[in-house]
């Protein structure tokens, strides 16, 4: 399977995308069910789900940070192309490489700082207020997903995509 403007996708990349995509779908479905049960309990029986808000917060954290490597791998970050037509295809490839380098360094640095913070949080034994769920593992997960996203951008430095056609150009 090849998308215009991107190299062929290998089996491990398809597995990676499918696994994270499936996990994100399951988490989103669970969040929906928790919200449904909480609303029915709150307004139908005057008894909200205990810790529903905390569980939803933690699942949202996992959903967002599990999605970050997917977005990085698919090059679906928000971009602005207001100078692309001025620099040509070679300039665009150089600019994309510089962007991947800057993003990789920034994400790996951020991951390192968050990993240090996760160690402190785990050392303090921080938990959520109602259900007393340990917060440290979630912060470690954040750091790992940010690092994975940084590694994806570093990998993209050495596997450049074919330049995509300009908007409105005919496709073959």
Q: What's the confidence (pLDDT) of residue 67?
A: 86
- Which ranges in 45-124 belong to alpha helices (H)? 52-73, 84-124
Structure tokens at 11: 């089996």
Q: Are 72 and 145 in contact (CB under 8 A)?
A: no
Provide the β-strand partners of residue 134: 127
Q: What's the confidence (pLDDT) of residue 66?
A: 87
CB-based contacts of 52, cutoff 8 Å, min separation 6: 34, 35, 37, 38
List of the chain residues with pLDDT < 70: 1-9, 160-172
* 111-145 tens-digit pLDDT: 999 999 999 999 999 998 989 999 999 999 999 99
State the pTM of this model: 0.78
Q: What's the confidence (pLDDT) of residue 170?
A: 43
Q: CA 104, CA 157: separation in Å to the nearest integer? A: 9
């Amino acid at each position: 399977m090849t998308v215009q403007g991107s190299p062929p996708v290998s089996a491990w990349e398809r597995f990676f995308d499918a696994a994270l995509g499936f996990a994100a779908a399951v988490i989103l479905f669970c969040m929906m069910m928790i919200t449904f049960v909480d609303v029915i309990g709150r307004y139908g029986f005057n008894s909200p789900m205990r810790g529903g808000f905390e569980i939803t917060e933690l699942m949202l954290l996992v959903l967002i940070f599990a999605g970050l490597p997917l977005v990085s791998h698919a090059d679906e970050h928000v971009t602005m192309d207001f100078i692309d037509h001025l620099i040509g295809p070679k300039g665009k490839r150089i600019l994309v490489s510089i962007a991947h380098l800057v993003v990789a360094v920034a994400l790996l640095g951020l991951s390192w700082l968050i990993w240090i913070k996760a160690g402190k949080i785990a050392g303090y034994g921080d938990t959520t207020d109602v259900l007393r769920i340990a917060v440290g593992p979630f912060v470690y997960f954040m750091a790992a997903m940010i690092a994975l996203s940084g590694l994806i951008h570093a990998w993209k430095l050495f596997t450049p995509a074919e330049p995509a056609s300009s908007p409105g150009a005919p496709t073959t």
